[in-house]
Amino acid sequence: MNQTHDQNLSSWVGESEDFPIQNLPIAICKPKGTDTFGAYIAIADKVLSLRKLHALNLVEGDAAEALAMCQGDRLNDYMGLPESKRRALRASVSELLAMGSSKQEDIAGCLFPIEDAEYGMPCTIGDYTDFYTSIYHATSVGKLFRPDNPLLPNYKWVPIGYHGRASSVDVSPQNFHRPQGQTKAPDQDVPVVGPCKRLDYELELGIFVGQANDLGQPVSIEDAESHVFGICLFNDWSARDLQAWEYQPLGPFLAKNFASTISPWIVSMEALEPFRVAFTRPESDPQPLEYLTSEQNSNQGAIDIRLEVLLLTEQMEQQGMAPEKLSESSFKHSYWTISQMMTHHTMNGCNLQPGDLLGSGTQSGPEPEEAGSLLELSDAGKKPFTLKSGETRTFLEDGDTVIMRGYCESSTAKRIGLGEVVGKVLPSC
Confirm whether 163 is a catalytic residue.
no
Asked whether the beta carbons of 110 and 53 are under 8 A apart, the reply is: yes
CA distances from 317 to 358, 360, 405, 415 (A): 33, 30, 19, 29
Of 54, 137, 333, 345, the catalytic one is 137
Asked whether the beta carbons of 268 and 232 are under 8 A apart, the reply is: no
Tell me the catalytic residues. Answer: 137
